[in-house]
Amino acid sequence: MQMVNFKKDIGIGDLRRFVRMGHALFTLKSEKTGQHYTYRITRIEKSNNAGSNLVWGKVRKGNKIINDWKPSPACYLYFISFLHSGEKYEYLGVFNQFDFSIRLTGKSKVTADAPVYKAIDYFLNLLKIVAPADVNSAFKNPEDYEKWAQGCDDFLARKYQEYAPYLTIYHANKCCCCGRELTEPESVELGIGPICRTGDWY
Ligand SMILES: [Zn+2]
């Protein structure tokens, strides 16, 4: 498997999208120890109760892409697996798309002490945004939302500066949404193809 770099200044917002699109295949490498692990985050549709959850992500307003809340079009279930040996992946746990936590289950092949678990847990923690418990009352006025969103952007940008020197993230040069091989330079930098990234979702 050929791994490639994301663009140098990839934002945490793009990485949040990348891991939730359904076909994320990536490697995390610690620049401190040289240790690296490869993961897959796959998504299956659980049910179609549209609007049951609000998701923070990229939303299109006319020609503009902004960060906003949007009802989730479906409920998804995410599984994380890790490359064990050769081309064999082992099941690690369930990924929570809302709070970016990992849940180990009875079938998990590792425990929370395993370095392969700690690495992905650390990475997903970097991508975490703590949303207000009650979105509707927290954002009664548009200015409230603007203020909160700006705070998140600043927070994520600061976190990125902190980890960027110590953690390198690679992807498998396949679209994180449809799994097709990427060729266009911008798609390679983002880990998502031109058609999939114009989608309405995220
Ligand atoms: Zn695609």
Q: How far is the CA of 101 from the centre of ligand 1 (A)?
A: 25
Tens of pLDDT, residues 104-149: 999 999 999 999 999 999 999 988 887 777 777 777 777 787 787 7
Torsion sign over Cα 167, 94, 12, 153: negative
Check: CB of residue 5 under 8 Å from CB of residue 178: no
Q: How far is the CA of 193 from the centre of ligand 1 (A)?
A: 5
Q: How far is the CA of 175 from the centre of ligand 1 (A)?
A: 5
Q: Report the pLDDT value the prediction gives residue 139, as an integer from 0 to 100.
A: 75
Q: How far is the CA of 174 from the centre of ligand 1 (A)?
A: 8
Q: What are phi and psi of 157, to 5 degrees?
A: -65, -40
Q: How far are the Cα atoms of 18, 19, 22, 61, 84 from residue 40, in angstroms, in the given order?
A: 11, 9, 9, 31, 11
Check: CB of residue 171 under 8 Å from CB of residue 15: no
Q: How far is the CA of 113 from the centre of ligand 1 (A)?
A: 35
Tens of pLDDT, residues 50-85: 445 666 666 666 666 666 666 555 567 899 999 998
Q: How far is the CA of 198 from the centre of ligand 1 (A)?
A: 10
Q: How far is the CA of 192 from the centre of ligand 1 (A)?
A: 6
As a whole number, mean pLDDT of residues 84-100 equals 90
Q: How far is the CA of 67 from the centre of ligand 1 (A)?
A: 21
Using DSSP, how many helices (H) and how many strands (E) does the chain show? 5, 9
Q: How far is the CA of 29 from the centre of ligand 1 (A)?
A: 25
Flag whether the pTM goes above 0.85: no
Q: How far is the CA of 191 from the centre of ligand 1 (A)?
A: 9
Q: How far is the CA of 195 from the centre of ligand 1 (A)?
A: 6
Tens of pLDDT, residues 163-188: 878 889 999 999 999 999 999 999 99
As residues whose CB is below 5 A from the ion ligand 1, the structure lists 175, 177-178, 193, 196
CA-based nearest residue to 37, from 117, 128, 102, 109: 117
